[in-house]
Amino acid sequence: MDVSLEFKGKKITLMGLGLLGRGVGDAEFLAECGAELIITDLKTAEQLEESLERLSFYPNITYVLGEHRFEDFEGRDMILKAAGVPFDSPYIAHARESGVPIHMSGALFARLSGIPIIAVTGSRGKSTTTGLIHHTLTRSTEGGSVHLGGNVRGVSNLQLLKKVQEGDIAVMELDSWQLQGFGEAAMSPHIAVFTSFLPDHMDYYRGDMDAYFDDKAHIFSHQEAGDVFITTPDVFAHVEKYVARTKHVLVEEVVLTDKDDVPIDWVLPIPGEHNRTNIALAIEALRATTLSEESIREGIETFEALSGRLEYLGEVHGVKVYNDNNATSPAATRAGLEAVSAEQNVILIMGGSDKRLDMKPLLEIIPTYAKDVILLPGTGSDSIESALPNAHKCHSLSEAVEEAFARAEAGDTILFSPAFASFGLFKNEYDRNDQFVALIQDKMNS
């Protein structure tokens, strides 16, 4: 699919380059299309060295690093905003006042590709549910390709446009920030899945759960007749409050499901009651594509856990190890504990940067499942340390892993489930994930 004319010669400001590969891929795509590109990021050139190296071949890119300037948000043909830009950014507000359109790459892909989109959001469960849907469709679909996009490590949504052909379909994981782009474009996916709604990112939304839900709601709020919205009864209770508050009218087909709807004779490949719910949601999304029940079952039963999502890494001297790196909220860590614990045999490694979430419910149940708690350094860990008087505070992840194995006995389980963000100690959550996996692999090889 050639959409280069959409961007050729256009003056585009890309706000937020980052180090995850998504922003770099989008920048490469726009530069290759012939856009006159300004890349602006609050990080310095030194911090962005790896990303900047990939873009060093393009003479049509100008960089403004370590700061943003209002002048770069006026007189432009469009702003491409990265996920996580503050919702009250004065620079985005200035662009709007100047009449400059605001876009985000996920919504741009959905509009320009013109192919059917299945998208998943939720406070937790969205990655696994997306993976279940994508795996099953890729395994079962004849003809067109199944593309995976959205909040996926290293995947540039704009780069995917090079691969799209007629008859293809896309499965997208969309966080609340990426859904801001769908709101800007006044569009929603054809099949929308909303897995869960729990307090998260309250540091970003300043404690406003309505603002958080309003961003999530873009996954269904622009759907049309003939589209399908799949969620749980718990989430739909929030939808009803949103409808009452905004006077929104649901015109799409609404399908409600939960863990009890999963056929009891299916062999489920991932542990935990929360994953039964994820599987139930994936099944309904797949049914909406008219895939056969046999193909759906075969796809679900052959799925393997995603990296960092209650991922079983193996055993070391009889001690099982699970990597739940992407559990960055107390609810997610609680679900992980419930899924892997047997008779209080878990050594829990947790901690990190505070997200202004209520930790009390998690702290109350930790003694039920965990025999020991190892804390990583961070503002979040500091806030709960007094509530866990027997916890051991470490200075690094490597020290935490060593301490966990020192306390573990054969038959125990080490669960790495942070419950907090990765800021401060790591470059990002992927860096935290990779470091933990590498440390465990070293243990297995020693």
Which residue ranges form the domains of the chain, and what is each CATH number?
A: 7-103 (3.40.50.720), 106-301 (3.40.1190.10), 311-445 (3.90.190.20)
Q: Is 199 helix (H, G, I), strand (E, B) or coil?
A: coil
Structure confidence at residue 143 (pLDDT): 64
Cα–Cα distance measured from residue 232 to residue 208, given in angstroms and rounded to the nearest whole number? 22
338 in Cβ contact with 273 (< 8 Å): yes
Structure confidence at residue 308 (pLDDT): 92
Structure confidence at residue 261 (pLDDT): 98
387 in Cβ contact with 363 (< 8 Å): yes
Return the ∠ at Cα 38 (arms to 34 and 44), rounded to 5°: 135
Cα–Cα distance measured from residue 10 to residue 393, given in angstroms and rounded to the nearest whole number? 52
Distances (CA, A) of 395 to 252, 298, 388, 422: 51, 45, 17, 14
140 CB neighbour count, 10 Å cutoff: 17
Residue that has been written with the tokens 């370590």 in this structure: 66
Return the ∠ at Cα 277 (arms to 274 and 279), rounded to 5°: 115
62 in Cβ contact with 39 (< 8 Å): yes
137 in Cβ contact with 203 (< 8 Å): no
284 in Cβ contact with 255 (< 8 Å): yes
Cα–Cα distance measured from residue 204 to residue 31, given in angstroms and rounded to the nearest whole number? 31
Structure confidence at residue 140 (pLDDT): 87
Provide the β-strand partners of residue 191. Answer: 118, 228
Structure confidence at residue 18 (pLDDT): 85
Cα–Cα distance measured from residue 273 to residue 265, given in angstroms and rounded to the nearest whole number? 16
- Contacts within 8 Å (CB) and 24+ apart, 294-299: 295/136, 295/139, 295/140, 296/136, 296/140, 297/263, 297/266, 298/136, 298/139, 298/140, 299/132, 299/135, 299/136, 299/137, 299/139, 299/140
Instruction: State both tokens at 406.
Output: 């020192």
Phi, psi angles (nearest 5°) of residue 343? 55, 50
Please give the average pLDDT of every successive group of 10 residues along the chain, which has 446 residues: 90 92 94 98 94 95 98 98 93 98 97 97 96 95 85 91 94 97 97 96 93 98 98 98 97 98 95 95 96 96 92 95 95 94 91 94 95 96 93 96 96 97 89 96 93
CA proximity to 269, closest of 302, 224, 227: 302
Provide the β-strand partners of residue 421. Answer: 353
